[in-house]
Homo-oligomer: A and B are copies of this chain.
Amino acid sequence: MRAFDEIDELAVNNLRVLSAEMIERASSGHPGLPLGAAPMMWALWSRQLRIDPQQPQWANRDRFILSAGHGSALLYSLLHVSGFNVTMADLQHFRQFGSHTPGHPELGIVDGVEATTGPLGQGLGMAVGMALAERQLAAQFSKTSQLVDHYTYALVGDGDLMEGVSHEAASFAGNQQLQKLIVLYDDNQVSLDGPTSRSFRTNVCQRFDSYGWDTQTVTDGNDMTAINMAIERAQHSKRPSLIAVKTTIGFGAPQAGTNAVHGNPLGPAGLTSLRQHLGWRAAPFTVMPAVAQRAQQLILQRGQRAHQQWQTQQATLPQAVRQQFEQQLTMGLPVDLAASLPTFDEGAQASRITSHTVIQRLATQLPGLVGGAADLASSNKTTIEHDHLSTPMTPDQRNIAFGVREFGMGTILNGLALHGGLRVFGGTFLVFSDYTRAAIRLAAMMKLPVTYVFTHDSIAVGEDGPTHQPIEQLMSLRLIPNVTVMRPADPNETVAAWWQAINATDHPTVLVLTRQNLAVLPGSKSLAMTGVARGGYVLSPQQGRQPTGILIASGSEVTLAIQAQAKLAALGEDVSFVSMPSMENFARQPLTYQTQVLPPHIRRRVAVEMGATLGWERYVGLDGTVLGLDHFGASGAADQVLAANQFTVADLVRTYQQTHVGIGQQLRVI
């Protein structure tokens, strides 16, 4: 390795000034981290990180995640200097609408950004997921090759480590002994509101020691040699590594060491002062030639050589291995996968049980399928029965014990999905989706095909009571953009919902499943696959040519609605019944299909779902009624809880009968 010299110092100051200039030009941004952390970033990128800036999707590249996403200016500067497709003009348009350099790093906007970060703590969790993905894939392919063999690095700040998800992710990583995970901690003891002593005097190394990590401290954040040595030591550790690097926030700026430089531009005088302090005389937005040259040698060319070596080695592998790897990377599905899924003619089972069956079938055909639950595998029925737990001793096994860590699970699932090569799922009770909601949002924003298996989906949970009974969760999940929520009504719809999930490529899928049995519905065997794909469909039409009204339901309430439909028919009301497992899929259908399912002139509509009502008015309008739940549940036997909340056939029939369009209203067409 080349010793650090004055050109490296020049590079660090170049990154510092570039970052500060970007922020100044944008009149917005966070100079504190870039000025303090530039040395550790340069040490890592120039001496250790194996990436190919011109082929940024190289499967075996090292991964780097800037968990402290507000330091994006530093990352973009480094991407530019390293030869990624980030131009000086991009840097000059930092934080501008439509630019390639948004305020926080966003996946898919610019090469070299491995994850969308900014919501603190989650970057660390995603790094843990990537390190786990690496171990999993290395184990899968290890018999034949070193196809997957790389490090995962992350840079975290004080804010990341205050967040609870950092505990969940780090504790998990320690237990899993993810030895190729190396985390640099920008230990500057200042956060947005002031010195961290206001709220955070935790001994971070001691904390990570308690998780089973290897910890080191670098006392001078400008000492690149020491930082680099610490990284190399960490590479040889048998445990995940935290390197606490003591830095000065806003190093070189007039208000260095204070929160004043955390999130505000330095201002013209501050920038001038910074340049003076660093002895920087170049014109604005300059990369010094010596810096460019060194970056080319030590980042671009070093990375390209590593990439070429890997390609040479890969070419010697058996074609079957290469094909399998390629198929997993491209998320390809075996052609006969659909045929392997079960169908149901009769009987009844909980949708979590059907889901369990589907998981077994998928696992047999998809070696890259991994998943688990947040210490509820036995309740969520998420275990791949043929496999054991993924552990340091059995890294090829595909069941992941996430622990009682819903949010951590969410971020780790994101990391697993980001890595490439795996399909992932994770389970907990629907009510605890609240804990992991912020990770689902990031999955949606990053367009990751993560599948969530959320069971115990209503007050039918029974005895565990209101803390365990979801009310608002179902509709709340539908509100997150780019998430597809599926609440299947019977075993056939459950298979179809999983089929939708496994075919997703650009969005996460939430499967909302029951604890209690669901009977196979008449017609679902032939209709469910298409119906679920369309999100809403007429599962049980009216008898005549035109219905007098429409019943709509999802999940376990479909059975109720079909019984109510029959009862209403006996009472002379000829209504149509629409099963609506996915509002999102329905909304994507052509208007002609939607109006066929829900004829606009039929205004007598009742929707029934054991969840919050707000939102169902999209389908029942001002004249219809929603039979739902706008209060918390209760502890008791499920049937008593349901009856007390008016989820019976009689209640639904009465609700329909009481729904009189236009009552008390002078309805008119304007």
Contacts and interface: CB of A to CB of B under 8 A. Distances in A.
Interface of A: 26, 28-29, 69, 95-99, 102-104, 106, 116-121, 158-160, 162-168, 171-172, 174-175, 191-194, 196-204, 206-207, 209-212, 373, 375-379, 389, 401-405, 407-408, 431-432, 434-435, 437-438, 441-442, 444-445, 462-468, 471-472, 475-476, 478-482, 548-549, 583, 595, 600-601, 603-604, 612, 614-615, 617-618, 621-623, 630-632, 634-637, 640-641, 644, 660-662, 664-670
Contacts of A197: 175
A465 B376 contact: no
Contact of A171 (B200, B401, B467, B601): B200
Contacts of A121: 164, 404
A407 B435 CA distance: 9
Given A97-B636, A102-B634, A210-B207, A163 B404 contact: yes
28 contacts: A28-B462, A95-B465, A97-B641, A97-B644, A98-B636, A104-B467, A118-B467, A119-B432, A162-B168, A162-B403, A163-B168, A171-B202, A175-B198, A193-B378, A198-B389, A199-B402, A199-B403, A200-B404, A201-B212, A471-B481, A475-B615, A479-B614, A595-B664, A600-B665, A600-B666, A601-B667, A614-B618, A660-B670
Contacts of A202: 171, 174-175, 210-212
Given A162-B405, A435-B438, A617-B618, A635 B104 contact: yes
A322 B196 CA distance: 38
A445 B377 CA distance: 27
Contacts of A622: 600, 603, 621-622
A91 to B, nearest CB: 14
Contact of A210 (B210, B476, B631): B210
Contacts of A444: 632
A545 B614 CA distance: 31
Contacts of A618: 614, 617
A631 B196 CA distance: 35
B667 A97 contact: no
Contacts of A207: 207, 210-211
B211 A199 contact: no
B600 A664 contact: yes
A259 B97 CA distance: 54
A201 B583 CA distance: 42
A408 B617 contact: no
A118 B471 contact: no
Given A212-B201, A404-B162, A661 B669 contact: yes
Given A175-B201, A199-B172, A665-B600, A193 B437 contact: no
Contacts of A482: 631-632
Nearest to A28: B463
Contacts of A29: 463
B669 A662 contact: yes
In this complex, the member of A102, A103, A468, A612 whose beta carbon has the largest number of chain B beta carbons within 10 angstroms is A103
Nearest to A95: B463
A35 to B, nearest CB: 19
A462 B200 CA distance: 29
A635 to B, nearest CB: 3
B670 A603 contact: yes
A478 B670 contact: no
Contact of A198 (B401, B600, B617, B637): B401
Given A207-B211, A662-B670, 19 more contacts: A28-B463, A97-B636, A97-B644, A104-B468, A106-B467, A160-B404, A162-B404, A175-B199, A193-B375, A193-B377, A199-B403, A199-B405, A202-B211, A204-B210, A444-B632, A472-B479, A601-B667, A614-B618, A621-B622
Nearest to A195: B401
A644 B96 CA distance: 13
Contacts of A378: 192-193
A212 to B, nearest CB: 6
Contacts of A635: 95-97, 99, 102-104, 106
Contacts of A102: 465-466, 634-636
A480 B630 CA distance: 8
B600 A373 contact: no
Contact of A165 (B164, B379, B600): B164
A210 B203 contact: yes
A129 to B, nearest CB: 14
A191 B445 contact: no
A602 to B, nearest CB: 8
Top 9 nearest A-B pairs by Cβ distance? A164-B164, A97-B636, A199-B403, A102-B635, A167-B167, A118-B467, A621-B622, A206-B210, A472-B479
A466 B192 contact: no
A295 B205 CA distance: 45
Contact of A669 (B172, B407, B667): B667
Given A434-B438, A438-B434, A403 B198 contact: yes
